[in-house]
Amino acid sequence: MQALILGLAAALAWGVHDLCVRLVAPRTSIPSAILTVFLTGAILVSIAAFFHGELSLPSGPALWLSCLSGAVFAGGSYGIYRAFAIGPVKLVAPIIGSFPILSVALASLQGKTSTLDQWLAVFVVVGGVGCVAILSKDEEEGTASTAAILWSILAATCFSASFALGHAATQAGSEMPVLVATRLAGVATIAIAVLARRSAFLPTLRTLPVLIAMGLLDALALGLVLMSGNLPNPEFSSVSSSLFGLITVILAWALLRESMTKAQWVSVAVTFSGIAYLGL
């Protein structure tokens, strides 16, 4: 239950974060935007670790697992930005939110037992998210929507792998050092991408305040998910955090005036039901 609650809190933070991505991605260099977000998160995490007396890097397997988690998370973030720069929220966000099926599958491969009703609940969650995507896809045409879907799938795959690696790192070491290492690895990965693409290191001043706020939300959400690594069924935090896609859709409907059909609203309700069942 605790892992589920942490995941829901992360979903709220990521939902707001992704709405901001939709606003800034088409207007700025994606690598430099992600670098600003990651640097902000790394600074925040380092400050928190300092006050907890844990401003250090993990050692052994925890270190390389943390670095892998951060690098893969950076890849997922790039996929999100590219997808939101191309497609509407109602198409992109639900697909990205479908990653928990991979998280639970990975947990099963690691020897953790998931009961039939838990699997059914996961499929309800993913099915509800998938229905929103399918219904949205019917309204979109052209290669742009196909590209948005492919970038979204890449992001979902990366996030699932990143969370699994992060949970393994947390189980092998202390939470704060793992989070610091994860953030620093993400910053290093994106910095290499910026250099390789010869992009500007700094975004436009107009988008800078929004990107800093996004960095705070992103670091908070990732920290909540990784904190569940030492709790029973940490994969459930990945399942509930996937709700960020639907939260983003709802926010886009309310604030950006993106349309939502009745069938899409039913899919949202079905997904919430699956999350509630997992909580029980």
- List the one residue out of 164, 163, 166, 188 whose CA is nearest residue 178: 166
Mean pLDDT of the chain: 82
* pLDDT tens track for 187-220: 999 999 888 877 777 777 788 899 999 999 988 8
As a whole number of Å, the CA-based R_g of the chain is 18
- Whether the pLDDT of residue 70 is over 80: the answer is yes
Say what the pLDDT of residue 276 is.
67
Specify the pLDDT at position 81: 92
Total number of domains in the chain: 1
Return the percentage of the chain with pLDDT > 90, whole number.
21
Convert the pLDDT of each residue in 42-69 to its tens digit: 998 898 888 877 788 888 899 999 999 9
Q: How much is the pLDDT for 139? A: 60
Cα–Cα distance, 30 to 27 (Å, whole number): 9
pLDDT-derived band at 138, boundaries 50, 70, 90? low
Q: Which pLDDT band, with edges at 50, 70 and 90, does 235 fall under?
A: low
Report the alpha-carbon distance of residue 3 to residue 276 in Å, rounded: 13
Please give the residue range of the domain that contains residue 97. 2-279
The count of other CB atoms within 10 Å of the CB of residue 262 is 8
Whole-structure pTM value = 0.82
Mean pLDDT over 267-271 rounds to 80
